[in-house]
């Protein structure tokens, strides 16, 4: 099913992060079409609690679509997705449950421009988790401190830089206390000097043991943080391995070609 079995993935625990045997996400035989375009083909993927997975691949390879399927922003047409023991189906209750377990950050941050930073962070806790306002604000401030922008709490998204906005977006997701975080190219829309501040936040999150699936082309990040790198092309998982092996000793020609292009820069 997966190229790496549980034992090996436990062995590559370089940064002393604990990876358990508990399955966080299990995807089996997933297929998806956009119209007649077969965008995801027979995806099989098991993610264990605490894993940090980086997904890379050329654009249009289906990597974003895959992680968007995990919290039902996209609907898959075949196969099975089980997140934290809950199977993703058209049942609204299941979708709600999974979405409250899974946080997501987007390429374009998607902060709510009409709300302050603090309100962005308390909106979902108040309206989904039914948290009292004070408690929600305390939690929000906690996470804003964590992403190092508590002093911006009363500003509006439009008043912040891109890097700051993305960190707010991460804090906003964390306020829902998710057990899994999905990142969809979180640094692609940022200037180089802002990429670092976002990556630092993500590394910190990883060190705390958050289960993370991250679509990114930041190979430095993959080498530093990931315990597994997945390469996708044409809707398929072509290859997956621990980072060192993946970068030093890619198996397939397509991976080699991709790596040569992306590292050649």
Output the smallest distance, CB 154 to other proteins, in A: 10
Q: How far is the CB of 75 from other proteins (least distance, A)?
A: 12
Which residue, 1 or 92, has its beta carbon nearer to other proteins? 92
CA angle 222/18/45 to nearest 5° reads 60
Which residues neighbour 142 within 8 Å (Cβ) at sequence distance 6 or greater?
none
Dist. CA 119–CA 110, nearest whole Å: 14
Measured from the CB atom, is 131 or 255 closer to other proteins?
Answer: 131
Asked if 84 contacts 255 with a C-beta cutoff of 8 angstroms, the reply is no
Shortest spacing between CB 113 and other proteins, in angstroms = 6
100 vs 234, beta carbon nearer other proteins: 100
Residue 24: Cβ-neighbour burial (10 angstroms; 0-12, 13-18, 19+) = buried
Give least dist CB 106 to other proteins, A: 6
Nearer to other proteins, 9 or 201 (CB): 201
The alpha carbon torsion through 247, 30, 106, 221 (nearest 10 deg) reads -10
Report the alpha-carbon distance of residue 193 to residue 191 in Å, rounded.
Answer: 6
Which residue is associated with the tokens 């398929």? 236
Residue 99 or 254: the one with the smaller Cβ distance to other proteins is 99
Pairing of strands 236-241, 37-48: unpaired
Closer to other proteins by Cβ: residue 16 or 92? 92
- In angstroms, what is the minimal distance from the CB of 129 to other proteins? 7
Task: Give the residues lining the site for other proteins (CB under 8 A).
Answer: 71-73, 92, 96, 99-100, 102-104, 106, 108, 110-114, 123-124, 126-136, 155-156, 158-160, 169, 172-173, 176
Q: How far is the CB of 41 from other proteins (least distance, A)?
A: 24
First to last CA, the chain: 33
Q: CA angle, corner 244, sides to 240 and 249, nearest 5?
A: 70
């Amino acid at each position: 099913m997966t190229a790496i079995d549980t034992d090996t993935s436990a062995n590559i625990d370089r940064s002393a992060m604990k990876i358990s045997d508990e399955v966080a996400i299990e995807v089996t035989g997933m297929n998806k079409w956009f119209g007649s375009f077969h965008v995801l083909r027979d995806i099989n993927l098991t993610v264990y609690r605490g894993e940090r997975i980086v997904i890379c691949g050329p654009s249009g390879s289906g990597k974003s679509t895959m992680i968007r399927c995990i919290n039902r922003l996209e609907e898959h047409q075949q196969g099975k997705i089980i997140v934290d023991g809950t199977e993703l189906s058209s049942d609204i209750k299941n979708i709600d449950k999974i979405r409250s377990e899974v946080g997501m950050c987007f390429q374009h941050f998607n902060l709510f421009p009409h709300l302050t930073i603090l309100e962005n962070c308390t909106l979902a806790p108040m309206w989904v988790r039914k948290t009292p306002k004070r408690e929600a604000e305390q939690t929000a401030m906690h996470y804003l401190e964590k992403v190092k922008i508590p002093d911006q709490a009363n500003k509006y998204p439009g008043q912040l830089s891109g890097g700051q906005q993305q960190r707010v977006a991460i804090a906003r997701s964390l306020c829902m206390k998710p057990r899994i975080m999905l990142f969809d190219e979180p640094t692609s829309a940022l200037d180089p000097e802002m990429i670092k501040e976002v990556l630092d936040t993500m590394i910190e999150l990883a060190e705390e043991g958050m289960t993370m699936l991250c679509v990114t082309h930041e190979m430095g990040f993959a080498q530093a943080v990931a315990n597994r790198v997945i390469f996708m092309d044409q809707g398929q998982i072509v290859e997956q391995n621990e980072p060192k092996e993946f970068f030093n000793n890619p198996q397939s020609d397509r991976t080699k070609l991709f790596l040569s292009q992306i590292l050649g820069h």
